[in-house]
Structure 1
Amino acid sequence: MQQGMLTPQEQRGKQIYVRGTSASGQAILAYLGEESLEVDGSVMACANCHGLDGQGKPEGGVTPSNITWEALTKPYGVTHPNGRKHSAYTERALELALTRGLDPDGNKLLNVMPRYQMSRADTADLIAYLKRLGTDRDPGITENSIKIGTVVPTKGALADMGQAVKAVISAYFDELNSQGGIYHRRLELKVAETGETPASTRANVERLLQDEQVFALTGAITAGADQELFTLAAEHAVPLVGPLTLYPSPGAPLNRQVFYLLSGLDGQARVLVNFAAQKSPANKTGVAVVYPATESARSVADAIKDQYRKDGWGAPETYEYAPADYDAAAIARKLSQTGRAAIFFLGSGAEALALLREAEKLHWSPEVYLPGAITGQEILTAPVSFDHKIFLSFPTSPAAQTQQGLKDFRALAEKHQLPAHHLAAQLSAYAAAQVLVEGLKRGGRDLSREKLIAALEGLYEFESGVTPALTYNPNRRIGALGAYIVSLDLNKKQFVPVSGWLDVN
């Protein structure tokens, strides 16, 4: 075990101490006062009163005890301000304090100290962490530096994008370091390569966390290994800020470590549903969702169906196809025969274009709704019969960019000779680095991962200058939860904005 790293048991104990929840999923309950008022353990987490360092946070005239292991186990015992005295704590005595509210000499603790009900295993985990409390230091941070990691492909079709993302994060950190860093700490960028499989990507990143001891991750290209890396961040309690992904996982149970910048395909699809409902309310019973038989596409299709339900519409018809056996002509015939007036299509841009061409042959031109992130420029060659009838969602837009934001990015790009390609990915990585740095600054000189997470949860309408404003809170992990809608002018072969920013809700 390298210095600074917690054992698995200590990590579980830290979760109980900081959040009042068990990694096992078992309930932790707290009982308050003489009446034994029962509340969930998450409401009365130890850190709420004793602080992340265990030193105690005076509040409301009450000064919670110093519960670092050194203080608890003083050989000559402890005398409290109210005159109560007791001998040194042992593991058993601490268990009784937690569960029965008694000190080592059998004296009652103050009523403001809850008594907890938890499993013996959770109690053992918590005590194991309390032994590290006060000396626990997160990896990757020294008096002079903070190690930050990222994950990029170096081979294959995404290699150029990976190098562009790495270049912009490195340039942003270099610029920051030239100005004194953050509280006189330099940011050091450490890089892991994506692998050929999700498992190998996870292994590479896990190696980075262990060998380089990085404090946090930012701007990681997680495509293809999203769930593996999001799970890894949770397991190692390492903050992951602004991963570049189409498939964020912000739902229950909340992964506290991961902060996404923009809506994924499911959020964008929900915005499309809301837009379609307002634009063409008469179409609400004539809608079909067409999607490939993949897990990711099914999840987006489920989001569309759920949003229809929330909007009070009837369930749309769904048509699933095998990507290897895609038959655009057969799908077009089937849909046209049912008289569908609107189609949500979740396949590739090439597949969408093939369907529209087959639909034109049948003299059928419904409204078509597409997530822009998976639809290429080829859609601009769609039949003219679909002019202004194709609508795409995008999680960001030039309309979200400020003059100052673009000026700052261009100055950075020129000074550090950033690549001219993959601009969208560069802007996302640039925004992710800004969010991370803002969190590091707000976390203060006495920085920890928990303080970084708390700082990020306090960001409200943070302006990166190159994305929509970003807001997080303890229950929200997507900064800009919505999308823009554009239509297509097929005569001029160009995108036409048809909405401003539309929130998912």
Structure 2
Amino acid sequence: MKSLLVNLGAGMLFALGNPAMAADPGISDNTITLGMSAPFSGPNGAYGKEMKEGALAYFAQLNASGGINGRKVELVTLDDGYETEKTVANTRKLITENKVFALMAYYGSSPTTEAMKVFSEAKVPLIGTISGAGTLRTPANRYMFHLRASYADETEAIVNHLVGLGINQIAVFYQNDGFGKSGLDGVIATLAQHKLKPVAVGSVERNSLDVGNAVAQIAKATPQAVIMVTLYKPTAEFIRQMRKAGQIPQFSTLSPIGADLLIAEMGAKEAHGIGISQVMPYPWNDTLPITKEYHKALQTHAKHGNYSYYGIEGFINAKLVAEALKKAGRDPSREKVVSALESGAFDLGGYKVNYSPANHNGSRFVDLTVLGRDGKVLR
């Protein structure tokens, strides 16, 4: 019995002296493995590809300088095609098969809402959501942290700007899912503050370009402006058909559109004048330390300078994950990372986020831009 107790005690001391043995999945002596599910194919595949490229550029830079306390960061990426069921399946796979330590940069309101059930039950943090849906933010989920402003923040900025210009006949074109409905709710709420209502509302299904009914409903109202809570392909088709119907309102849309993707889809001439709210720093200059860092990393590791809002969001998301891991200490656990994020502010190079146990909405930053004649995004 005495010998058994001695052996047990030695075993416990050995385990305590070797943190990797007791570490959460995804942590080894040399690596930290993270997971990401996003669309890399299908109509919205360009969004995921730009985010992934930005994130990988940051991690390549980080690993080249020694990683985090000697551990290199590895990112496992799975394609979900912006489909909810695939996102849920990918989440299970990343957690149970790939044994990731944490998740990052999930794309889409409805896919993330369903995946939340999986990663929350497993107590695996998701850091960075490419969604501003209110349903993902209130109440705060202990294991989900938002990097960008909400759709309510974006629509509030757009509506207040339009009304300030004397425009009060405003219609809404939205995607019929969590993303679009959240944006629609935001427009309605802010219009109500001005004692206004949408003059018309039309919708399109996710991953569809069937916008005919929406065009008919909205064109009938002859609005002064249309706020579009949609992605770039249906947005482009909607604008084309509205113009064919003789309608030339002020078109405004939200950050998920991807300015560079809309310009590529429509051409600079046709996209000229479209307003877009943005939730990330302007990626084409280097006035902020984070944009300068993004430029250098992309040029070094991706070998090009095709900067974009989605690219810099992926880059900033990766940096937030790294800073949280550093703050969690030499032997990080998932719970330590959650506590590190909730402990206060992070300055990521001029882009600041701040979390608390009761609030996981990191930022309310919104910037209003417009597309110029030459296809450039103007502030």
The change in CA–CA distance for 1:253 and 1:403 in structure 2 (over 3 A counts) is closer
1:214 matches 2:100: yes
* Cα offset, 1:495, TM superposition: 4.4
Q: Classify 1:463/1:176 alpha carbon distance in 2 versus 1 (closer, same or farther; 3 Å).
A: closer
Q: Counterpart amino acid of 2:318?
A: A
Under a length normalisation based on structure 2, what TM-score does the superposition of the two structures give? Answer: 0.75
Taking the aligned partners of 2:117 and 2:29, their CA distance within structure 1 comes to 30
Distance 1:163 1:216 in 2: 20
Match of 1:452, SS?
A: helix
Name the amino acid aligned to 1:453: V
Residue in 1 aligned with 2:112? 226
Match of 2:63 in 1: 177
Question: Who is 2:355 aligned against?
Answer: 472
**Secondary structure of 1:475 counterpart:** coil
Q: Once the 2 structures are TM-superposed, how far is the Cα of residue 221 of structure 1 from its aligned partner?
A: 4.2
Quick check: 1:328–1:358 contact (8 Å CA) kept in 2? no
Task: Report the residue type matching 2:84 in the other structure.
Answer: P
1:458 aligns with 2:343: yes
1:276 to 1:209, Cα distance in 2 relative to 1, 3 A: same
Structure with higher helix content? 2
Alpha carbons of structure 1 residues 178 and 248: separation in structure 2 relative to 1, 3 Å: farther
2:197 is the counterpart of 1:315: yes
How far the C-alpha of 1:305 sits from its partner, in A, is 1.0
Q: 2:316 aligned with 1:434, yes or no?
A: no
Task: Say if 1:191 and 1:244 are closer, same or farther in 2 by CA, change over 3 A.
Answer: same
Question: Does the aligned pair in 2 maintain the 1:332–1:358 contact within 8 Å?
Answer: no
Task: Answer whether contact 2:171 2:200 (CA < 8 A) is retained.
Answer: yes
Matched, 1:244 2:130: yes
CA contact (8 A) 1:331 1:355 kept: no
Matched length: 345
Distance 1:334 1:175, change over 3 A: closer
Counterpart CA distance in 1 for 2:178 and 2:75 is 33
State the partner residue of 1:188. Answer: 74
SS in structure 2 opposite 1:438?
helix
TM-score normalised over the length of structure 1: 0.58
Q: 1:217 touches 1:241 (CA, 8 Å); kept in 2? A: yes
Matches within 5 A, 1:92-241: 137-153=23-39, 155-156=41-42, 162=48, 165-194=51-80, 197-221=83-107, 225-241=111-127
Find the residue that maps to 1:485 and give its secondary structure. strand
Please tell me whether residue 370 in structure 1 is matched to residue 370 in structure 2: no
Change in Cα spacing, 1:419 to 1:256, as seen in structure 2 (3 Å) is farther
Q: Distance in 2 between matches of 1:487 and 1:333?
A: 23
| Residue equivalent to 2:238 | 351
What is the rounded CA distance, in whole Å, between the counterparts of 1:196 and 1:314 in structure 2? 34
Q: Which of 205, 212, 234 lines up with 1:326 in the alignment?
A: 212
Secondary structure at the counterpart of residue 261 of structure 1: coil
Q: Bigger CA drift: 291-300 or 440-449?
A: 291-300
Which of the numbers 278, 297, 301 marks the counterpart of 1:394?
278
Closer, same or farther in 2 for the Cα pair 1:392/1:319, shift >3 Å? same
Please tell me the residue identity of whatever aligns with 2:276: L
Match of 2:172 in 1: 289
Question: 1:496/1:477 Cα in 2 relative to 1: closer, same or farther (>3 Å)?
Answer: same
Tell me which of the two structures has the higher relative contact order, counting C-alpha pairs closer than 8 angstroms and 6 or more residues apart: 2
261, 282, 291: which one aligns with 1:406: 291
* Structure 1 unmatched runs, 5+: 1-134, 498-505
Please report how far the alpha carbon of residue 458 of structure 1 lies from its aligned counterpart in structure 2 after TM superposition. 3.2
Which amino acid counterpart does residue 355 of structure 2 have in structure 1?
A: Y
Change in Cα spacing, 1:237 to 1:350, as seen in structure 2 (3 Å) is same
Q: Deviations over 1:394-443 (max 9, x none)?
A: 22242785354333233323332456557433321111111011111111
SS at match of 1:335: coil
Residue 488 of structure 1, CA deviation: 4.9
After TM superposition, give the deviation of residue 236 of structure 1 in Å. Answer: 1.4
Q: Residues 494 and 176 of structure 1: is their aligned pair in 2 closer, same or farther, counting only changes over 3 Å?
A: closer
- What is the identity percentage for the equivalent residue pairs of Structure 1 and Structure 2? 23
Task: Note the alpha carbon deviations across 1:446-471, whole angstroms, 9 max, x for none.
Answer: 42222211211234252345xx4323
Alignment partners' CA distance in 1, 2:189 and 2:137: 14
Task: Write the deviation string for residues 43-62 of structure 1: whole angstroms up to 9, x where unpaired.
Answer: xxxxxxxxxxxxxxxxxxxx
- Per-residue Cα deviation, 1:216-258 (whole angstroms, up to 9, x for no partner): 1123445762222233221211111123346474432322212
Structure 1 contact 263–483 (Cα < 8 Å) conserved: yes
The answer to whether the aligner puts 1:335 opposite 2:221 as a matched pair is yes
Structure 1 residue 277 and structure 2 residue 160: aligned? no
Q: How does 1:39-58 map to 2 (within 5 A)?
A: none
Q: Which residue of 2 aligns with 1:11?
A: none
Counterpart Cα distance in 2 of 1:394 and 1:464: 18
Which residue, out of 360, 368, 376, partners 1:485? 368
By how many angstroms is 1:301 displaced?
1.1
CA distance in 2, matches of 1:292, 1:429: 23
Question: For 1:226, what is the secondary structure of its paired residue?
Answer: helix
Q: 1:308 to 1:191 in 2, by over 3 A?
A: same
| Higher gyration radius (CA) | 1
RMSD, aligned CA: 3.6
| Residues 156 and 190 in structure 2, CA contact (< 8 A), matched pair in contact too | yes
